[in-house]
Structure 1
Amino acid sequence: MLFNSYEFLLAFLPLAVLGYFALKGHGNLFLVAASLFFYAWWRVEFIALLIASIAVNFTIGRAIVQRAARGEATKALLVAGIAFDLLLLGYFKYANFFAENVAALLGIAVPKLDVVLPIGISFFTFTQIAFLVDAHQKKAAEPNLTNYALFVTYFPHLLAGPILHHREMMPQFADASLKRVDWDNVARGLALLAIGLAKKVLIADPLSVWANAGFAAAPTLGFGDAWLATLCYTLQLYFDFSGYTDMALGMALMMNIRLPENFNSPYRSRNLQDFWRRWHMTLMRFLRDYVYIPLGGNRRGATLTAAFLVLTFTLGGLWHGANWTFVLWGLANGLGLVVVRLWSRTGIAMPVFLAWAITFLAVNLGWVLFRAPDLATAGSMYQALVGAHGFGALTVTEWRWIPSLPQLTLASAATNWDNVSTFITLLAAGFIAAWPRNSMAIVREMRFGWPLQAATALALVAGVLALANPTEFLYFNF
């Protein structure tokens, strides 16, 4: 079931919110059942996998907490729990990838494994690993089964995050005062939901047409076309993923639950380090706390710190998918962060606009690897971006790779309104991405009154009217 679908927005979500408040003391159990139903809507057979993962991690986590309270060793249990999680994730997400690469290395034929990737497995696996580690470090209290199950399955975050910490969620689930309707939270949550929906269906989805067509035609793109396609994807990815996050945070807020922020105007960043403090913030928090710092963080000298950065981001790239494009994307970002650290030591202050332009260019080029289905496509796109396929002028008459747009001229603009509107969307997306006040700031600072009510209603109506052919959020693939 997609957030951007009629059945979710007009049936599931209202019933979930009403049931949560109506049942009060049993609201958490109701939300667990609703979340499992939500997950089963995709493929019911994977419910058993999700429940098994919760059962194993809850049992091990509770045992770790109890042993730690008695002063007993818990490392063996921690290793067993993490091994279980990584083996589960490794089989479903990476089995084919590793089998194919081992076969290529040894020069043997290996049959392709028929493994279906369970949606959301990366997110609920990382969430539970974080709980086990915190339990081992005595940062977690003994969990309540219902609240723990809700912590993992809570439908707003289940499929694409944000990645949660138990310490920020468990107290909220246990707080009886949050089971009463707070109309202020309902209004702000609904506004955030409307903003997220508009980001997805009114900005990200139209841009996807040009981005998808451009990458599909990468070997034949000219210079201008290639830059247009990559820019469309750069903005599509941001509005798609941040749109999902806004919807998730908005619907949770309607139930008085505050999920952690995941985006903070990342395309306004002036260096790569700042970008990764603003983009997918909960994943960066996880990688920092559970990979980078345990490796040694900043405590082992400049050389090892650089190596830890590169390794952490390479693993972060692999987390996104079983493809060498993701590995190289992570590696490139890790190396980029090392360059930023070295530059900061020079003490030279770069002009603000130049710093922003270099950062945005680096991120945009990195997304080519992130989007390309394989290294060959990425290579073709990079060649096009430097003019290897020609330096044709960037004019609308040359966007021949756009579906249903063999040639667009001013004379034919009226009959190609969909493509003209997408170009307008591209310009608007760039402006919005650079605007200082993002969706979270708008909702925090908003004042109630008819202008806000009208804007929220307009955004919701426009979003719902655009739901004829809902598409999956991009991060469902990760």
Structure 2
Amino acid sequence: NVTLPLAISFFTFTQIAYLVDSYRGEVKEYDLLNYALFVTFFPHLIAGPIIHHKEIMPQFGSLRNLTKQHKNMALGLFLFGIGCSKKVLLADTFARWASAGFDQSQSLNFFEAWFTSLSYTFQIYFDFSGYTDMAIGAALLFNIRLPANFNSPYKSTNIREFWHKWHITLSRFLRDYLYIPLGGNRAGELRTYVNLAITFVLGGLWHGPTWLFVLWGAMHGVAMVVHRLWQTLGLRLNAIAGWLLTFCFINATWVVFRAKDMQDVTKVFMGMLGMNGLILPSRMMETFGYLKAEGVGFGPWLEGINGNGLLPLAILFALTMVLTQKNSTEMWQMEGSWKRLGYGWATMIGLMASLSGLYMFSTSYSEFIYFNF
């Protein structure tokens, strides 16, 4: 294990972009105080978004940003409340089931494995996007607008679209400071495929110096190559089929991302493939008892991950939310959105913040996932 300083990847990327652009002669701001503030601006520092000097440093020098702006205060509190609720009420709830499946169970049956992987899929989304909402909200209290980092990534119908909507600022950095300098798509198809693969492998390594992160990045790199080849051949896929394929692939890659070692990966994937059996609730035996002849078992359901009937409902609720509702970025970027934050929104945010606070004090602490990167 390698111990690294907190948030090293985020402030390193921030400074790499500044230094590279300085070398290219694209930097106009050299004020030391503003640069120090740019690097250490606390809302984004621990887990992003990865900010760029061209969009942030001019804001530090704006006289208008030195005055109190009630619009930004309202939007900031709104986003902070939404982000806190995502983290505490949703992400931490899914974390209990994901942790039980990955860290405690020695073996997972079909349903336990799928609910373990799906729990982490929603945990990491609500955890990371929740932090981003809180960071953007906190920055708005200082009249600073941070870039959006998520745009409903689980609605994506292909892997390329996913990376345009997930951790947007990381995708932008990898594109501008790695993929394009490698040659991008300017040196023929074969070289483009190689550049895509290299970019995503290094993107995986950015998350941590382990082979599982390298494997996770390589899986996405291969998927991007396959997608580009698919487009080059002029092939098409139905939108629903494309979404299902993309979501299942993302869900599978999160297993590799979350696992501590290959034993965890094997355990979850074997369960998802049904190699450890399929168990239905005991109460269903009267109706589906004939399935025992096909190898289906009956007993305590989801016992291996401390689950119950609430877990499928939570998964269904989360899936419905991410597929049908506007995300927080869409809500706060709507024209005149701050004017809509009346007593109704204020009451809702207050209730959510209060509930989140009570929940934090009544349960064990769970840090943000991206605090580790």
- Could you say whether these structures have the same fold, taking a TM-score greater than 0.5 normalized by the shorter chain as the test? yes
* 1:198 aligns with one of 62, 85, 94: 85
For 1:234 and 1:218, the matched residues in 2 are separated by 18
Is 1:385 the counterpart of 2:245? The answer is no
Judged with a 3 Å threshold, the aligned counterparts in structure 2 of structure 1 residues 119 and 378 are, in CA distance, closer, same or farther, namely same
Work out the CA distance in 1 between the residues paired with 2:75 and 2:171. 26
| Pairing 1:466–2:359 present | yes
Q: Which runs of 4+ in 1 moved over 6 A?
A: none
Q: Deviations over 1:401-445 (max 9, x none)?
A: 234x6xxxxxxxxxxxxx555554333211111124101112233
Aligned residues of 1:219 and 1:381 also touching (Cα < 8 A): no
Residues 147 and 421 from structure 1, CA distance in 2 versus in 1: closer, same or farther, beyond 3 angstroms?
farther
Q: How big is the shift at 1:347?
A: 2.5
TM-score normalized with structure 1 length:
0.71
Pick the aligned partner of 2:333 from 422, 431, 444: 444
Work out the CA distance in 2 between the residues paired with 1:132 and 1:207: 40
CA distance in 2, matches of 1:288, 1:367: 22
Other-structure match for 2:314 = 425
Partner secondary structure for residue 298 of structure 1: coil
Q: Residue deviations 1:367-399, cap 9 Å, x none?
A: 110000012211221111111211333789321
Deviation at 1:117, TM superposition (A): 2.1
User: Cα–Cα, structure 1 residues 171 and 142, in superposed 2: closer, same or farther, change >3 Å?
Assistant: closer
Q: Residue 296 of structure 2 aligns with which residue?
A: none
Q: Is the 8 A contact 1:218 1:377 kept in 2?
A: no
Q: TM-score, normalised by structure 2?
A: 0.90
Separation (CA, whole Å) in 1 of partners of 2:247 and 2:153 = 9
**Is 2:318 the partner of 1:434?**
no
Identify the residue that residue 66 of structure 1 maps to in structure 2.
none
The percentage of aligned residue pairs carrying the same residue is 48
Q: Report the Cα offset of residue 345 of structure 1.
A: 2.2
Tell me by how many angstroms 1:350 deviates: 1.5
- 1:440 and 1:158, CA in 2 relative to 1: closer, same or farther beyond 3 A? same
Distance in 2 separating the partners of 1:118 and 1:394: 47
State which of 391, 402, 415 in structure 1 corresponds to 2:305: 402
- Structure 2: which 5+ runs fail to align? 283-298
1:427 aligned partner, one-letter code: L
Of 174-183 and 441-450, deviating more is 441-450
Decide whether the 8 Å contact of 1:277 with 1:284 is kept in 2. yes
| Local SS of the residue matching 2:367 | coil
Give the Cα separation in 2 of the matches to 1:443 and 1:424. Answer: 28
Please tell me the residue identity of whatever aligns with 2:333. Answer: R
Whether 2:151 is the aligned partner of 1:264: answer yes
Q: Is the 8 A contact 1:218 1:380 kept in 2?
A: no
SS at match of 2:279: coil
- Find the counterpart in structure 1 of residue 285 from structure 2: none
Q: 8 Å contact 2:159–2:227 — kept in the other structure?
A: yes
The amino acid across from 1:452 in the alignment is W
Match of 1:457 among 346, 350, 367: 350
* TM-align CA RMSD: 1.7
1:333 & 1:224 partners in 2: Cα distance?
25
Partner amino acid for 2:45? L
Q: Determine the C-alpha separation between the residues in 2 that align with 1:191 and 1:470.
A: 23
Larger relative contact order (CA 8 Å, sep ≥ 6):
2
- CA contact under 8 A between 1:224 and 1:394: conserved in structure 2? no
Contact 2:29 2:57 survives alignment (8 Å): no
Return the match for 1:238 from 98, 120, 125.
125
C-alpha distance in 2, partners of 1:185/1:394? 51
- The letter of the residue matching 1:365 is A
Equivalences, count: 351
Q: Provide closer, same or farther for how the CA distance between residues 189 and 154 of structure 1 changes in structure 2, counting only shifts above 3 A.
A: same
What is the identity, as a one-letter code, of the residue corresponding to 1:256?
A: N
User: Given residue 236 of structure 1, which amino acid in structure 2 is its aligned partner?
Assistant: Q
SS in 2 for 1:392: strand
C-alpha contact (below 8 Å) 2:112/2:305 kept by paired residues = no
